[in-house]
Amino acid sequence: MSILTKGYQARQDRRRYLERTLGTLAALGILYWLGINFAKSPSQFFQASLIGLSNGVLYALIALGYTLVYGIIELINFAHGDLFMLGTVFSANFISVWFGKSHTGIAAFGIFAACLVAVMTFGASINVGIERFAYRRLRRAPKLAPLITAVGMSFILQFVGLHWNGSGQKTWNSILPNGEIKISNVTIPYTTIISVAITVPLLVLMSWIVSRTRQGKAMRATAQDQDAARLMGINVNRTISFTFALGGALAGAAGLIFQQTRGLTSYNLGYQLGLIAFTSAVMGGIGNLQGAVLGALLIGLIQGLNDGLPIGLGQQWSQTVVFSILILLMAFKPTGLLGKTVTEKV
Amino acid sequence: MSITKKVGSKTGKPKGPKQSASQRKWAFGFILAAVVIWIFYTYIMNHLPDGMQTIVQNWFPPTALNEAMVWVIAALGLNIVVGYAGLLDLGFVAFWAIGGYSAGWFMSSFFRQVNIHILSTSPKTVPGMHISFWGVIFIGGLICAFFGLIIGAPTLRLKSDYLALVTLGFGEIIPQFFVNGSNIGGFNLTNGTQGISPVDNIGVPGRSLSPFDFSWKFFIFVLLTAFMVFMSLRLRTGRLGRAWLAIREDELAASMMGVPLMRTKLSAYAVGAFSGGIGGVAYATHVGGVFADRFNFSISIILLAMVVLGGMGNVWGVMVGALLLAWINSTGLPAFGDLVNNTFHTQINFPSYNFLLFGGALVLMMLFRREGLIPESRLKAILHEDDEPDTNTGGAE
């Protein structure tokens, strides 16, 4: 070993040591912050965590769409958040305008289920359409091209949302039951329970499709090496379309859940939520499905705690907190929590 | 012309006769165009018949022209980052905002605690920091360059799409900081959503330009744009510019040839941010204040659309793209909408179509004319590498 490489090794070691120390210090700081908040008001702590986690499952649905698409064609699909936004607008119109439902009841549950199917189909078909129309032609182009296309697509979807939903924020009646469960001082609304009850099976189904079915195997093969997959008789175009359909369907479902639990729609909602969801996908290790869910729950929790705890930065700094986490992650651990280190292919 | 020669000799590089001739040509054409426009607005416009005057006021008002020049300045800055160095920056609004707030801080009565006057147009009795516009341009630019380095340093090791994301996050954090900045540990740093206004007038020898002094301000913005064009063109042919282009085309090959990747990328960020800062200061003086809620993501995207539409890497293309989109955004679309609505008695809200317009422009350009309206020949070759069968795509990542 030459002196040069030795010096390089030493520098790398020092750097790693520094990063680890800083990471430990940050973790201790966060623990201290959580500790004093918990001591101050345990019920508020649990309430904030609960809100955070229920947001987290929503983020997970959106984040999966990002991570699926990135996993298979290495594209940050900026339009995905806006697809979610269209999902919210679609659900609102489906339930409140086309079916004219504004109260809960047995029939309302039927319409809710119908809407879930409809909005998932809607999201899937739009996402597949975008892939077919734009991204497919750019598959072999330099990376900048599809990325800019995705940004453009995001704007086009926002335009659709703007004209469909109007320029302001709209509020809607939820058809989900309105009550809540109270455990000592912590309230759990029914809507939270229902959204978790829909999301978790969807996530399980998702993971089953990718890991157990033939189509999922084709997806994993395509993600590894498109040319090799093609040689093995996999229809690569169809597999990529299928991936976009899965992502779009999840975004649609997230749209319905968001619209029914929060009762509002707005054309510029998708961009913010999409970014948060993407941050979660990165946090878990982009391309990794379990990672996306874990990251989303963590981000939701962090956001919930920051917004809801007595000693915190408060809601107006919510985005800053999330994006600071994103930047720090990118700087120190770009592979994410569960991601594997990949050497750049030459 | 003399300036070009001086700098050329300073860098100590012999320039071919063709190059210096073409560089003289642009300066001539640019100054000629600027002077013609300036004379038109200052002297001819008032003597036009009333009908003509309304048309000009509706379709090409002087304020839109000045705003377009500001966009050109910032777009040229983004062009250095995206077009020259090939690093996608989706948060350029951050630099625009920081530049704007440097104008707000150093050119207004906002900091009442102090009383600093440096060559300013405001009377000496007014409290606050009052530094001359020409100084603030450099201060704002330098602050932005500093932030460009801060954001760049830890993240430039990343692949292009991750980098885009970090810049995007940065572009979200900075405006939110300015919105919430009215209470940073009890200190009012940014005055929140109310913003800081008014900022001082621009001082030129013998005059102080009020916010409505459009034609003189146009002259100043043209001067700044000329500086940007000059800087872009000179940097491109210089050692640093060639290193940027090499990185854009193939990072690995460039580093093998001895281009220091980190330093070169960082300098692209710093120079781009510096220009964004100049754009921010210019915008603040154009509007007469800084307002936090104006700095949003769409500014980053509009700037990117300008660069992409005009032709990444080509200064003239970017200028045309910026002028075109800025005009469409500020005047063209509303004026066209009024025309259509009045003629056909419709109630279509045309300005809301700018989302479709910008998004569509980005998508269609990427699909059909990746190199932009006025392409740069080298970039065109890279962007169409995939058209040839049986070649692997590489580079430009």
pLDDT the model gives residue B279: 92
Angle between helices B160-180 and B297-310 (to 10 degrees): 140
Per-residue tokens: A12: 């790398």
The domains of chain A, with CATH numbers, are 56-332 (1.10.3470)
> Is the Cβ–Cβ distance between B312 and B83 less than 8 Å?
yes
Residues of A with Cβ-Cβ distance to B172 under 8 angstroms: 275, 319-320, 323
Residues of A with Cβ-Cβ distance to B160 under 8 angstroms: 143-144, 147
Residues of B with Cβ-Cβ distance to A141 under 8 angstroms: 366, 370, 383, 386, 393
* Mean model confidence pLDDT for chain A: 84
- pLDDT of B13 > 70? The answer is no
Least confident interval from B256-270, B317-331, B339-353: B339-353
**A residues 260-299 closer than 8 Å to B (CB):** 271, 275, 278-279, 282
- pLDDT of B19 > 60? The answer is no
Confidence of residue B76 (pLDDT cuts 50, 70, 90): very high
- pLDDT of B156 > 80? The answer is no
pLDDT the model gives residue A340: 64
CB contact under 8 A, A346 and B172: no
pLDDT the model gives residue A345: 39
CB contact under 8 A, A148 and B301: no
First to last CA, chain B: 37
Q: Is A144 on the interface with B (CB under 8 A)?
A: yes
pLDDT the model gives residue B21: 54
Q: Is A149 on the interface with B (CB under 8 A)?
A: yes
pLDDT the model gives residue B1: 38
- pLDDT of B112 > 80? The answer is no
- pLDDT of B396 > 50? The answer is no
Residues of B with Cβ-Cβ distance to A162 under 8 angstroms: 352, 355
| Mean pLDDT on B272-282 | 92
Residues of B with Cβ-Cβ distance to A299 under 8 angstroms: none
The domains of chain B, with CATH numbers, are 19-59 (no CATH), 60-387 (1.10.3470)
Residues of B with Cβ-Cβ distance to A270 under 8 angstroms: none
Looking at residue B291, the DSSP 8-state letter turns out to be -
CB-count exposure of residue B394 (10 Å: 0-12, 13-18, 19+) = middle
Residues of A with Cβ-Cβ distance to B154 under 8 angstroms: 330-332
Q: Is A166 on the interface with B (CB under 8 A)?
A: no
Instruction: In whole angstroms, give the CA distance from residue A16 to residue B396.
Output: 30
CB contact under 8 A, A140 and B386: yes
pLDDT the model gives residue A121: 94
**Residues counted in chain A:** 346
A140, A143, A316 ranked by CB distance to B397: nearest: A143
Q: Is A74 on the interface with B (CB under 8 A)?
A: yes
ipTM of the complex: 0.80
A138, A147, A330 ranked by CB distance to B155: nearest: A330
CB contact under 8 A, A323 and B170: yes
Instruction: In whole angstroms, give the CA distance from residue B233 to residue B223.
Output: 15
| Mean pLDDT on B116-133 | 78
CB contact under 8 A, B88 and A282: no
Residues of A with Cβ-Cβ distance to B355 under 8 angstroms: 155-156, 158-159, 162
CB contact under 8 A, B164 and A147: yes
pLDDT the model gives residue B272: 92
Name the H helices within B288-384: 297-310, 315-327, 333-344, 354-368, 377-383
pLDDT the model gives residue A117: 93
Provide the β-strand partners of residue B118. B131
CB-count exposure of residue B13 (10 Å: 0-12, 13-18, 19+) = exposed
Least confident interval from A93-107, B206-220, B314-328: B206-220
Q: Which residue reads 């509002």 in tokens?
A: A264
Classify each residue of A77-96 as buried b or exposed e, where b means 16 or more C-beta atoms within 10 Å of its C-beta.
bbbbbbbbbbbbbbbbbbbb
Q: Is A332 on the interface with B (CB under 8 A)?
A: yes
Looking at residue B376, the DSSP 8-state letter turns out to be -
B154, B304, B363 ranked by CB distance to A153: nearest: B363
**Residues counted in chain B:** 397
First to last CA, chain A: 25
pLDDT the model gives residue B24: 66
CB contact under 8 A, B154 and A331: yes
pLDDT the model gives residue A39: 80
Q: What is the pLDDT of residues A246-281, one digit of tens each?
A: 999 999 999 999 988 888 888 888 888 888 888 888
CB neighbours of B383 closer than 8 A, spacing ≥ 6? A141, A142, A145, B370, B371, B396
CB contact under 8 A, A275 and B383: no
Provide the β-strand partners of residue B108. B129
Which residue numbers in chain A have pLDDT < 50?
1, 343-346
- Give the other-Cβ count within 10 Å of B41's Cβ: 18
CB neighbours of B107 closer than 8 A, spacing ≥ 6? B120, B129, B130, B131, B133, B136, B199, B200, B284, B285
Pick the closest to residue B65 from B32, B102, B33, B99 (CA basis): B33
pLDDT the model gives residue A346: 36
CB-count exposure of residue A128 (10 Å: 0-12, 13-18, 19+) = buried
Name the H helices within chain A: 3-40, 42-73, 80-92, 106-133, 144-165, 190-212, 214-224, 226-231, 236-262, 269-284, 289-308, 318-332
pLDDT the model gives residue A193: 86
Looking at residue A97, the DSSP 8-state letter turns out to be I
Provide the β-strand partners of residue B38. none
Shortest distance, CA B217 to any CA of chain A (angstroms): 33
CB contact under 8 A, B165 and A320: no
Looking at residue B200, the DSSP 8-state letter turns out to be P
Shortest distance, CA B359 to any CA of chain A (angstroms): 4
Pick the closest to residue A112 from A244, A264, A261, A268 (CA basis): A261
| Mean pLDDT on B273-277 | 93
What is the number of CB-based contacts under 8 A between chain A and chain B?
A: 141
Q: Is A97 on the interface with B (CB under 8 A)?
A: no
Instruction: In whole angstroms, give the CA distance from residue B89 to residue B163.
Output: 8
Confidence of residue B390 (pLDDT cuts 50, 70, 90): very low
Q: Is A18 on the interface with B (CB under 8 A)?
A: no
CB contact under 8 A, A142 and B383: yes
| Mean pLDDT on B319-328 | 89
Q: Is A186 on the interface with B (CB under 8 A)?
A: no
Angle between helices B2-11 and B17-39 (to 10 degrees): 140
Instruction: In whole angstroms, give the CA distance from residue B129 to residue B120.
Output: 9
- Give the other-Cβ count within 10 Å of B111's Cβ: 18
B155, B356, B396 ranked by CB distance to A159: nearest: B356
Q: Is A138 on the interface with B (CB under 8 A)?
A: yes
CB contact under 8 A, A158 and B359: yes
pLDDT the model gives residue B277: 93
- Candidates B150, B157, B161: best to mutate against A (most CBs of A within 10 A) is B161
- pLDDT of B139 > 70? The answer is yes
B166, B173, B356 ranked by CB distance to A330: nearest: B166
Residues of B with Cβ-Cβ distance to A146 under 8 angstroms: 366
* Mean model confidence pLDDT for chain B: 80
Least confident interval from A28-37, B71-80, B262-271: A28-37
pTM of the predicted model as reported, rounded to 2 decimal places: 0.84
